[in-house]
Homo-oligomer: A and B are copies of this chain.
Amino acid sequence: MRCLAADFTASLADIADEAGIGRTTLRRYFSERNDLLAAISATALARSSAAIQRARLTEGPALDAVGRFCEEHFEIGDILILVLDQPQLSRAWSDESTKHALLELIARGKAEGTIEPEIPPEWAYEMIWTHLYAGMHYKPQDGTSRYGALSLCLTSLKRVLETRN
């Protein structure tokens, strides 16, 4: 993941080196480059689906559910960043079910009155992923902990989504 995230054109040899295994071993598990990429994509999707299950998006206040969505996805780590970065990988990720779950959540928040009614659902959806991505990507010089980044992410995201008072 680290290697591909730094340079998606990295050769399989580079990837194997970075992983500390032999090119032969890498090939034993993924006979083609596409197999590796597909596996990455599939793994990321599976972990995201699991994260969404754990987040129980239909329960409790909508903004809290959005928070759980981010928290759970934060745990997934590097692989998620890689997939979100590469159109090639996230294209296969046209899992509309994820999108629908979030759009429903947004609609619920509006009904509750906790999410700004003016914000277009599609844009709110983008904002959730965008903030999640920014938070996961955030690595400032001084030692801000992973939790610190999550906290910043959630604070900003809530500002974007919440109803104006």
Which of chain B's residues has its CB closest to A156's CB? B160
Specify how many copies of this chain sit in the oligomer: 2
Residues of A within 8 A of B (CB): 5-9, 85-88, 119-120, 122-123, 126-127, 130-131, 133-134, 137-138, 140-141, 144, 152, 156, 159-160
Contact of A6 among B87, B133, B134 (CB under 8 A): B87
In the bound assembly, the distance between CA atoms of A138 and B125 in angstroms comes to 11
In the bound assembly, the distance between CA atoms of A5 and B160 in angstroms comes to 28
Which of chain B's residues has its CB closest to A133's CB? B130
In the bound assembly, the distance between CA atoms of A152 and B124 in angstroms comes to 10
| A123: chain B residues within 8 A (beta carbon) | 138, 140, 152, 156
Which of chain B's residues has its CB closest to A130's CB? B134
In the bound assembly, the distance between CA atoms of A138 and B122 in angstroms comes to 9
In the bound assembly, the distance between CA atoms of A5 and B122 in angstroms comes to 22
Contact of A131 among B119, B130, B152 (CB under 8 A): B130
Add 18 more A-B contacts to A8-B9, A159-B159 (CB < 8 A): A5-B87, A7-B87, A7-B88, A8-B86, A9-B9, A85-B87, A120-B140, A120-B152, A122-B141, A123-B138, A126-B134, A126-B137, A126-B138, A130-B130, A130-B131, A130-B133, A156-B160, A159-B160
A48 nearest CB across to chain B (Å): 19
In the bound assembly, the distance between CA atoms of A137 and B119 in angstroms comes to 17
A119 nearest CB across to chain B (Å): 8
